[in-house]
Amino acid sequence: MASNTGKIEKLVRKLLIELGEDPDREGLVKTPHRVAAALEFLTSGSRIDPVTVINDAIFTQKTNSMVIVKNIEVYSLCEHHMLPFFGRCHIGYVPSGRVFGLSKLARLVDMYARRLQLQERLTEQISQAVMKAIDATGVGVMIEARHLCMMMRGVEKQNSVMVTSSVLGTFRESIATREEFLALIGNRST
Ligand SMILES: [Zn+2]
């Protein structure tokens, strides 16, 4: 699964030529190298094992009150255009004896965001990973994001925000739990 920087650089150089550019002009000389490094970083999540990201940051805690972490920044690449989509992710869960270290949820989001993605799938993957990692009673994830593939190409209005959510366990079964989640994250989806 490891990517090959040298090969990607050559491909980017070819791409520049196909786009009618001169890859040897001053501003572009280092571009293939920069693009290769950026793409490798932005897709690095697909080459990381989620278990290693999560394992050392789960703590035992006797609580079954809802935990909310909101406004986690999300930067990802849409798999249809390889253009960025970005926004915020809100995660709520009801623990059953184990909780996440705070920074780990952000790392989990990064790991799933740093790959070619669909916002819907990203939302699902995060909720399922949280559910599985701590055997939660329920999980809710909401992502609000803007997609440059729509904004820059004028396909949608400039300010449109795509909202996706994924609810599991009690968040799916109980309207009260779901409403508590939406109230706590401020329900800015409207
Ligand atoms: Zn797209």
Give per-residue pLDDT as tens, 84-113.
Answer: 999 999 999 999 999 988 888 999 999 999
Give the burial class of 185: count Cβ atoms within 10 A of its Cβ; 0-12 exposed, 13-18 middle, 19 or more buried: buried
Name which of 119, 111, 141, 116 is nearest 128 in CA terms: 141
Question: Pseudo-torsion of CA 183, 168, 140, 99, nearest 10°?
Answer: 110
Give residues whose Cβ lies within 5 Å of ion ligand 1.
78, 80-81, 149
Which pLDDT belongs to residue 72? Answer: 96
pLDDT band at 184 (very low <50, low <70, confident <90, very high): very high
Type of residue at 104: K
How far is residue 9 from each of residues 4, 82, 83, 147, measured CA to CA in Å?
9, 17, 18, 26
pLDDT band at 138 (very low <50, low <70, confident <90, very high): very high
Q: What are the tens digits of pLDDT across the range 10-41?
A: 999 999 999 999 999 999 999 999 999 999 99
How large is the average pLDDT for residues 152-173?
88
Which token pair is 140? 């809710």
Which pLDDT belongs to residue 88? Answer: 97
Distance 158 CA to ligand 1 centre (A): 14
Name which of 35, 34, 111 is nearest 74 in CA terms: 111
24 phi and psi angles, rounded to 5 deg? -100, 0
Is the alpha carbon torsion for 79, 81, 83, 89 positive or negative? negative
Distance 26 CA to ligand 1 centre (A): 31
Which pLDDT belongs to residue 129? Answer: 93
Distance 177 CA to ligand 1 centre (A): 33
Distance 84 CA to ligand 1 centre (A): 8
Does the pLDDT of residue 126 top 80, yes or no?
yes
Distance 67 CA to ligand 1 centre (A): 32
pTM: 0.91
Distance 93 CA to ligand 1 centre (A): 29
Sheet holding 138-147, edge to edge: 116-117, 67-78, 84-94, 138-147, 162-169
Q: What are the tens digits of pLDDT across the range 154-163?
A: 776 677 899 9
Distance 151 CA to ligand 1 centre (A): 10
Angle at 85 between CA 40 and CA 154, to 5 degrees: 125
